[in-house]
Amino acid sequence: MSMSADDPVLPPRVRRGLRPLPQLIFSSRWLQLPLYIGLIVAQGVYVILFLKELWHLVLGAMRFSEQEIMLVVLGLIDVVMISNLLIMVIVGGYETFVSRLDLEGHPDQPEWLSHVNASVLKIKLAMAIIGISSIHLLRTFIEAGALGTSGAKYTETGVMWQAIIHTIFILSALGIAGVERLGQPVYAAKDH
């Protein structure tokens, strides 16, 4: 078998293969494949949920109050944001931890995928979780007018804990970003 000029030159260790134990350890990354397939199934469930809620909105558009419409729309946004989170985990996680997708030059390649690594993925996931938490907190605040009444969905303590947990999510994301920034090499740019 002859090598053409287009074949990449691989180091001798890669060309001859790995020893059995390193090969087993390296191959174990494929055990994550069923997990990513399961997340794809979950994505399909969220599509069904979105369509169900959208149909509910369309059927009730003439009789819903503005607040009810807003709550359903926030529910739709919540489903979309969770779906975006799933895509980031599925695509970014597979690309980072299992195998390359070889999407370079593909017209539909997500911009963020070209520079994804475990650090970038953690920060993007933290930001997505904050966005989802924000939607939930906004829904709670919209319904907070009923606090103290018999039909209230939330209690004052529940609202307080949601706000505290949301703040913890924000502080955690800032902490993750700060630690990642500390771990980056510092280059001094000199303008001469």
Same-domain pairing of 96 and 36: yes
| Residue where a domain stops, chosen among 74, 102, 130 | 102
Looking at the structure of the chain, the number of domains it has is 2
Quote the tokens at residue 121.
């993925």
| Residue where a domain stops, chosen among 63, 79, 102 | 102
Same-domain pairing of 60 and 126: no
Quote the tokens at residue 156.
């004052």
| Span 40-49, pLDDT tens digits | 999 999 999 9
| Residue where a domain stops, chosen among 44, 77, 102 | 102
Count other Cβ atoms within 10 Å, centred on residue 79: 20
- Indicate the average pLDDT of the chain: 82
157 by DSSP, 3-state: which?
A: helix
- Cα dist from 2 to 6, 32, 81, 130, whole Å: 11, 35, 50, 54
| Span 117-161, pLDDT tens digits | 777 778 888 888 898 899 888 888 887 777 777 777 788 888 889
Same-domain pairing of 87 and 142: no
Average pLDDT value for residue range 105-112: 76
Which residues constitute the domain of residue 135? 117-183
Least confident of 20-29, 82-91, 155-164, 180-189: 180-189
Gap between the Cα atoms of 116 and 95, Å rounded: 8
Quote the tokens at residue 182.
């500390």
Gap between the Cα atoms of 17 and 26, Å rounded: 11
Q: By the 8 A CB rule, do 54 and 24 touch?
A: no
**92 in a structural domain:** yes
Same-domain pairing of 24 and 98: yes
**175 in a structural domain:** yes
